[in-house]
Amino acid sequence: EVTVPAVPPAAPEPPEPPPDTPFDWPLFWTFLRPQLLALSAAVVLALGAALLNVHIPVLLGQLVDVVARCARGHVATYLREVRRPALRLLAVYCLQGLLTFGYIALLARVGERVAGNMRKALFSALLRQEVAFFDATRTGQLVTRLTADIQEFKSSFKLAISQVSPAVSRVSPVDRAGRLSEQLGLGIAAFQGLSNVALNGIVLGTIFVGGSLMAGDQLSPGDLMSFLVASQTVQRSLASISILMGQVVRGLSAGARVLELLRLEPLVPLQGGATIPAHSLYGRICFNHVSFSYPTRPGYPVLQDFSLTLPPCQTVAIVGPSGGGKSTVAALLERFYEPTAGTITLDGHDIAGLDPSWLRGQVIGFISQEPVLFGTTIMENIRFGKPGASDAEVYEAARLHSISTVSPRCPAGERGTALSGGQKQRIAIARALLKDPAVLILDEATSALDAQAERAVQAALERAAAGRTVLLIAHRLSTIRGAHLIQLVATATPPPLPPVGQSPRVGHPQQ
Ligand code: ADP
């Protein structure tokens, strides 16, 4: 009998991923490996730039010595003497600039490509997940991973590599990214503050002590200059390392979240399983004692011990109150979810063993209340039902389903805004029938239309139903007029519906 559960429990909050998801290095490596050449080149260039950085203070010191010597009186030879060290310094500056340009450009390229490939992989990883996954995961979260997390990871990645200097090798306390970030924030702040004080102290001390050494001729002005510039370089590196550490931590946790999703295997794979050859496909569907509750609401049975047979080439209407489980029956038939108990068979084969892509792509046509149209031509919108279809096939489908008022070449507008409800619905019919499905699911296909459009669409649907097994999900009596069999589906309180026999679960032939 019909189950009448108490107030359905609220869906549990989908679990947030744990903040310290370990970073999957082997998986990351598969993205990095194709970029290895560019990456190695970047590292070599960056190391070269770092070496020159060490060399520059020395050259600068030599130049200052020459300047100081000339300043003491030998002005005549100044230009001649200063030219060599000055040119050398200029050359080193230019070389350093070139190397910097080179490694940053390479890193940008590597970062862009790795991020691009990760984004593509993530997108297809999401597409292959079963529908239940999207019930449990908020769409916003997924979009964040596609955009923000990958962006974050990419910029950290670039920054991390660009700071290649001997000091960076000391910056790897970082294995579990998320856990560290808070202490690290404090640590970085303290480190930065203290190192600023220390380094400014060094500058002051150097000038003070260096000045007295210079007065005693024990130190040349150039040596003092070298020391000052070198200490500045060290200060700059330390500052960027502290920024880098924060960035690495953030980047690793963003990356870990992305890689975690990439590894996720769908519970119902998109492809794989048996198919039934076209010549022995009749389209007889049986629901055998099916029970089902949505994975996000395990304690709330939507269907309990539900049995229904759809004979080949007949139309079976399921009626019941809103929320009674009608659309759920259709979703189970398309294998968007797996029954909790019982089986669904197509011509005697359990659909759990059939290839979902084949089932959805070739066997079942689905027409919903609100068809989803894309911002392209009507023709392409129809072709979407069978991506390999020829133009002739598409035109034929358009002609058959009486989309005569608009040319198939017309754009459908963004989400079909250029079309009326009836036109959109007929495009959806043509799309669903392009693959000539043995089974057709009509989910309240005319309920959003006005009376006139409804009549036209209804006529198109009746033509479409001929020779197919049709599962008709209906709210209104007018839509079930042509059905061979009417089945009540209800999980909530018994609905105010036309008499369909004593037992609501027994199919009731209408004609
Ligand atoms: P109908 O098509 O008869 O209006 P549905 O099959 O859409 O009913 O819904 C049946 C019950 O399942 C409702 O209580 C609904 O809230 C619940 N339900 C539908 N879809 C989901 C889902 N994706 N996750 C959790 N519960 C759902």
pLDDT in tens, 398-432: 888 766 656 666 666 665 666 788 888 888 888 99
Would 7 be classed as within a structural domain?
Answer: no
Question: What number is the average pLDDT over the span 249-262?
Answer: 80
Do 181 and 323 lie in one domain? The reply is no
pLDDT at 86 over 50: yes
Same-domain status, 408 and 483? yes
In-domain check, residue 3:
no
Six token digits for residue 331 = 């979703």
CATH number at residue 296: 3.40.50.300
* Same domain flag for 92 and 230: yes
Higher pLDDT residue, 500 or 442?
Answer: 442
The backbone torsions φ and ψ at residue 499, rounded to the nearest 5 degrees and listed phi first, read: -60, 125
- Is the model's pLDDT at 316 over the cut of 50? yes
The residue range of the domain holding 119 is: 25-263
Same domain, 123 and 194: yes
Same domain, 200 and 304: no
CATH no. for residue 107?
Answer: 1.20.1560.10
- Give me 60's structure tokens: 């600068």
Q: Are residues 259 and 290 in the same domain?
A: no
CA-to-CA distance for 294 and 303, rounded, in angstroms?
Answer: 10
Q: Is residue 2 part of a domain?
A: no
Distance 187 CA to ligand 1 centre (A): 50
Separation of CA 492 and ligand 1 centre (Å): 11
**In this structure, is residue 322 part of a structural domain?**
yes
Greater confidence (502 vs 183) lies with: 183
Quick one: which of 94, 79, 88, 85 has its CA closest to 65? 85
For residue 6, being part of any structural domain is answered with: no
For residues 254 and 308, membership in a common domain is answered with no
Residue pair 381/374 in contact by the 8 Å Cβ criterion: yes
**Ligand 1: residue whose CA is nearest its atom 7:** 327
Note whether 245 and 343 are same-domain residues: no
Q: Which residue has the higher pLDDT, 483 or 434?
A: 434
Residue-wise pLDDT tens digits, 53-73: 888 888 888 888 888 877 777
Q: Which residues contact 30 (CB under 8 A, 6 or more apart)?
A: none
| Least confident segment among 207-216, 301-310, 462-471 | 207-216
Which stretches of 33-77 are DSSP H helices? 36-71
Q: For residue 18, is it within any domain?
A: no
Say whether both 124 and 155 belong to one domain. Answer: yes
pLDDT, tens digit (0-9, with 9 covering 90-100), for 378-392: 888 889 888 888 989
Taking alpha carbons only, the member of 432, 440, 431 closest to residue 380 is 431
How far does the centroid of ligand 1 lie from the alpha carbon of residue 147, in Å? 31
How many domains are there within the chain? Answer: 2
Q: Which atom of ligand 1 lies nearest, measured to the CA of 473? A: 2
Find out whether 446 and 457 touch, Cβ atoms under 8 Å.
yes
d(CA 418, CA 385): 20
Mean pLDDT of 442-450: 79
- State how far the Cα of 232 lies from the Cα of 61, in Å rounded to an integer: 14
Number of C-beta neighbours around residue 459 at 10 A: 11
Give the residue, by CA position, lying nearest to ligand 1 atom 6: 325
Same domain for 59 and 145, yes or no, is yes
Q: Which residues line ligand 1 (CB under 6 A)?
A: 8, 11, 135, 294, 296-297, 302, 320, 322-328
Q: How far apart are CA 103 and CA 439, in angstroms?
A: 59
ipTM over 0.90: yes
- What is the residue-wise DSSP string for 412-438? --GGGTTS-HHHHHHHHHHHHHTT--S
Q: How far is the CA of 325 from the centre of ligand 1 (A)?
A: 6
Q: Measured in angstroms, how far is the CA atom of residue 306 from the centroid of ligand 1?
A: 15
Do 286 and 456 touch, CB atoms closer than 8 A? no
User: Within this chain, do residues 237 and 313 fall inside the same structural domain, yes or no?
Assistant: no
* Residues 254, 365 within the same domain: no
Residue 272 is assigned to a structural domain of this protein: no
